[in-house]
């Protein structure tokens, strides 16, 4: 790494036109430290300069070695491994190990990891009673958020986040129990009895068993469906500093237990701007109705009368690499479940949009949500379950980011500045006088 202190060219010279003074601010990894702007002030008794960046559009809040994204080139890597290779050749639990530990496991490490996760899939019976207490029509995501937070009361030792062995135990528990909590949220909404984990099954097959098993002794899902859902979990496992990951880090910066921090991530994902895009894609495809109506819809988008959902991304200015993989998974799933006419509409819409200069010039390409909703629907998941599936896949990423946070000596408790816009120095008048 370049020694920026010794290299004056790796700096930014700022001239304050209010005072005529110049400041030399070091540049490291393509960024300046916002704290260095604090020295720029009009007087000793005046506040220093700060940045205003709603939504962190151009602000780095941390250093991270978990996920790399190059949005212009459509690149996504977990710990340096391309997402395309991981989706094709790895498994979700191996990817989870990679995210948490920073390296791929040996065979012995993988066997031990799978055993640990499998062993901890069961939850305390009181958690079951807790979840049964929700209203019959409770949203599965609200149930998941509350249940994850409630786990902190079952494992009070989770507060000891300075202990590496203790951190590992909580990470294992959370990855193991998320499918159980998610499946039970689904069953509760349907008025069906909860199904306990079957630890003879793989992680993803076990999840499908807890979701769909009825009276049969053993639930056996089609392996193509198991693989497709496993791939979806991999594709959602982490995505840099998104809204929910930022929530996990922000809440985690208070040194709270990881269950509470991850519950914050679930809450952020609950919001429609973060986790609801694939449902919006399904509504759009149904509104289009048939491939013959696509040209009229495209014109509506150009005229501002329609919204093209599932295209474009705040990070990607190229084809979302996850979308290509999901498109293939969708075709595999429909081989098992039967075709969905919406898939034909989606493919034709994608084809037309990618050939239209209007969308190409605006760098609007399909994102991960464009096809994922079709896959979830093929599994017979209701739309309110989509974000639960997202949360299960994202859990290892949240935990990897949390683990990085608690071991990062540069990190402090999150406490952003604000620009105050309200009144000041008003004179209080007692209610007896105001109301007289």
In angstroms, rounded to a whole number, what is the distance separating the alpha carbons of residues 154 and 399?
Answer: 18
In angstroms, rounded to a whole number, what is the distance separating the alpha carbons of residues 385 and 377?
Answer: 10
How would you label 208-238 residue by residue, b for 16+ Cβ within 10 Å and e otherwise?
Answer: bbbbbbeeeeebebeeebbbbbbbbbbbbbb
- Which residues, including other chains, have CB under 8 Å from residue 422's CB and lie 6 or more apart? none
Strand order, beta sheet including 67-70: 67-70, 75-78, 81-82
Q: What is the DSSP letter of 244?
A: H
Distances in Å between the Cα of 10 and the Cα atoms of 27, 63, 105, 269 are 5, 19, 38, 38
User: What H or E segment, with its residue span, contains residue 13?
Assistant: strand 11-16
* Known catalytic membership, residue 313: yes
Strands 81-82 and 75-78: antiparallel
In angstroms, rounded to a whole number, what is the distance separating the alpha carbons of residues 55 and 242?
Answer: 10
How would you label 84-97 residue by residue, b for 16+ Cβ within 10 Å and e otherwise?
Answer: eebbeebbbbbbbb
User: Which is the catalytic residue, given 120, 188, 236, 313?
Assistant: 313
- Which residues, including other chains, have CB under 8 Å from residue 19's CB and lie 6 or more apart? 42
Alpha helices in 191-213 (DSSP H): 203-212
What are φ and ψ of residue 286, in 5° steps?
-65, -35
* Known catalytic membership, residue 168: no
In angstroms, rounded to a whole number, what is the distance separating the alpha carbons of residues 231 and 322?
Answer: 10
In the three-class reduction of DSSP (H, G, I as helix; E, B as strand; rest coil), residue 24 is classed as: strand
Q: Which of 80, 55, 58, 53 is nearest to 69 (CA)?
A: 80
- Residue count (the chain): 436
Tell how far CA 202 is from the center of its chain.
23
User: Which is the catalytic residue, given 36, 369, 408, 423?
Assistant: 369
The catalytic residues are 313, 369
């Amino acid at each position: 790494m370049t020694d920026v202190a010794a290299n004056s060219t790796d700096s930014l010279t700022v001239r304050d036109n209010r005072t005529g003074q110049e400041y030399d601010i070091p540049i490291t990894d393509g960024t300046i430290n916002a704290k260095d702007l604090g020295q720029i002030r009009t007087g000793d008794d005046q506040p220093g300069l700060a940045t205003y960046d709603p939504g962190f559009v151009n602000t780095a809040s941390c250093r991270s070695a978990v996920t790399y994204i190059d949005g212009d080139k459509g690149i996504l890597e977990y710990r340096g491994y391309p997402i395309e290779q991981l989706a094709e050749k790895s498994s979700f639990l191996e990817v989870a190990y990679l995210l948490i530990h920073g390296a791929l496991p040996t065979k012995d490490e993988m066997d031990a990891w799978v055993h640990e996760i499998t062993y901890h899939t069961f939850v305390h019976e009181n958690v079951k009673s807790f979840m049964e207490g929700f209203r019959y029509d409770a949203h599965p995501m609200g149930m998941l958020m509350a249940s994850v937070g409630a786990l902190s009361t079952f494992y009070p030792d989770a507060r000891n986040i300075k202990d590496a062995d203790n951190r590992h135990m909580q990470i294992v528990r959370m990855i193991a129990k998320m499918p159980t909590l998610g499946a039970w949220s689904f069953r509760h909404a349907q008025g069906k009895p909860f199904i306990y984990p079957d630890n003879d099954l793989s992680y993803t097959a076990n999840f499908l068993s807890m979701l769909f098993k009825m009276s049969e002794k053993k639930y056996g899902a089609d392996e193509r469906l198991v693989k497709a859902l496993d791939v979806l979990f991999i594709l959602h496992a982490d995505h840099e500093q998104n809204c929910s990951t930022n929530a996990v880090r922000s809440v985690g910066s208070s040194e709270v237990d990881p269950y509470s921090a991850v519950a914050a991530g679930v809450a952020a994902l609950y919001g429609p701007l973060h986790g609801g895009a694939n449902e919006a894609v399904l509504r759009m495809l149904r509104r289009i109705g048939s491939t013959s109506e696509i040209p009229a819809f495209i014109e509506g988008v150009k005229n501002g009368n329609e919204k093209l959902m599932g295209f474009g991304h705040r990070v990607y200015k190229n084809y979302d690499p996850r979308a290509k993989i999901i498109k293939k998974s969708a075709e595999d799933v429909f081989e098992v479940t039967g075709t969905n006419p919406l898939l034909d509409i989606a493919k034709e819409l994608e084809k037309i949009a990618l050939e239209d200069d209007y969308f190409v010039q605006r760098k609007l390409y399909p994102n991960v949500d464009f096809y994922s909703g079709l896959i979830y629907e093929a599994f017979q998941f209701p739309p309110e379950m989509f974000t639960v599936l997202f949360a299960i896949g994202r859990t290892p990423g949240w935990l990897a980011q949390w683990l990085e946070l608690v071991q990062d000596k540069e990190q402090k408790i999150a406490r952003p500045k604000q620009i105050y816009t309200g009144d000041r120095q008003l004179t209080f008048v007692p209610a007896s006088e105001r109301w007289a």
